[in-house]
Amino acid sequence: MAERRIYIDRAPGETRGVVTLDGRAERLLIERDGEAWPRLGLRRRARVVLVDRALGLAMLDLGEGQEASLRLKADRAPPVQGQSLDIEIAIEPQGGKPAVARALPPDVEAAEGLPLEQRLDVLAPGARVILGAQARAVADKAEEEALAVEHRLGGGVSLAIEPTRALTAVDIDLAAASGDGKRAAQKANLTALGALGRLLRLKALGGLVVVDLVGRGHDGPPLARAAQAAFAADQPGVVIGPVTKFGTLELALPRRYRPVREILRDASGQASARTLALRFVRAIERQARAAPGDRLLARCAPEVAAAVAGPAEALKGIVGARFEVIPDLALGREQWDIASS
């Protein structure tokens, strides 16, 4: 039976929650101070600011600088500009597009969405909750895995997962196998599909997924059963197609959460200055705990130093004001130096 655990890492400026499945990260939820977006389950009264019948969409103002879109229903009269609607967020913002809302009956009680701890419990009901240093290590590893493209699964099997604007492309690869190549390919495909569900949930990727399988002449039913098992946790809304003559398997997964890469990276695909600043502050905290009596000089790139002010203030409440952040033009974006003075 699969075992799930919950890890919660509370750090200056950021809280990260991880659900693990049999010891491997399956979900990564991130909340940052001063950084908010319409989260799944948020209920609010919104105002219609635009109705586009050609696109079948209405744009909504949620207040507090937030917006969402509402898909118009063919069997219902469309809302009118200026009208107030009670809505619930069904899909978080992603891909440069606003959140997607669904209309609720009038006068449904507003709700800000569940706190992170409760959202984790929904994903892993009754799971053991682990805090502290172990949670930080698990969250760091989950973040690294969520951003990785290639994932080695053992036995010569690897998965490459690359999201594009249109779909997520998945390539299954197998190192040269001896013996029955067809059987080895089938085993590799089953192994990879078993891991793919967990990895896509960790990355919070949905929509169309195209999997390039290993080998030729695939035995479709076992592959379909493996995919159904791997994506059972994503139901309802998963659609699994047959293996095509091109050796690909197509899936449609519900979009719900904002992809992790969009939280951690900037538009260029690099780790954002905010992400690097939070990692830098965690490194300062780690050094401060290792040397409790020392004053620390923490040097980093100017771009990171500019983003570190808020988390650094929060860190002072944990380890005291015994560190100084110094911008250093000689350091790259992902470089820093922390030394005792």
pLDDT for the residue numbered 77: 83
Q: What is the mean pLDDT of residues 6-22?
A: 95
Q: Is 40's pLDDT higher than 80?
A: yes
For the segment 239-249, what is each residue's pLDDT rounded down to a tens digit? 999 888 898 99
Q: Distance between CA atoms of 66 and 77, rounded to whole angstroms?
A: 25
pLDDT score recorded for residue 234: 92
C-beta neighbour count of 222 within 10 angstroms = 13
Superfamily of domain 43-103: Nucleic acid-binding proteins (2.40.50.140)
Element (H, E) at 5: strand 4-11
Residue 105 CB neighbours (<10 A): 6
Residue 88, classed as helix, strand or coil, is strand
Q: Which pLDDT score, from 0 to 100, does residue 35 have?
A: 84
Q: What is the pLDDT of residues 95-145, one digit of tens each?
A: 889 999 999 887 666 556 678 898 899 899 999 999 999 999 999 999 999
> What does the domain layout of the chain look like in residue ranges?
4-36+116-143, 43-103, 148-260, 271-340
Beta bridge partners of 207: 253
Per-residue confidence (pLDDT) for residue 303, from 0 to 100: 94
The answer to whether domain 148-260 has CATH 3.40.630 is yes
Conformation bin of residue 141: beta by default, left when phi > 0, alpha when psi is -120 to 50: alpha
Q: What is the mean pLDDT of the chain?
A: 90
What is the DSSP code string of 274-326? HHHHHHHHHHHHHHHHHSTT--EEEEE-HHHHHH-HHHHHHHHHHH-S-EEEE
Q: Give the list of residues 6+ apart from residue 85 with CB closer than 8 angstroms, or none.
A: 45, 46, 47, 48, 60, 70, 79, 103, 104
Give CATH for domain 4-36+116-143: 3.30.420
Expressed in percent and rounded to 5, the helix, strand and coil fractions of the chain are 30, 35, 35
pTM attached to this predicted model: 0.89
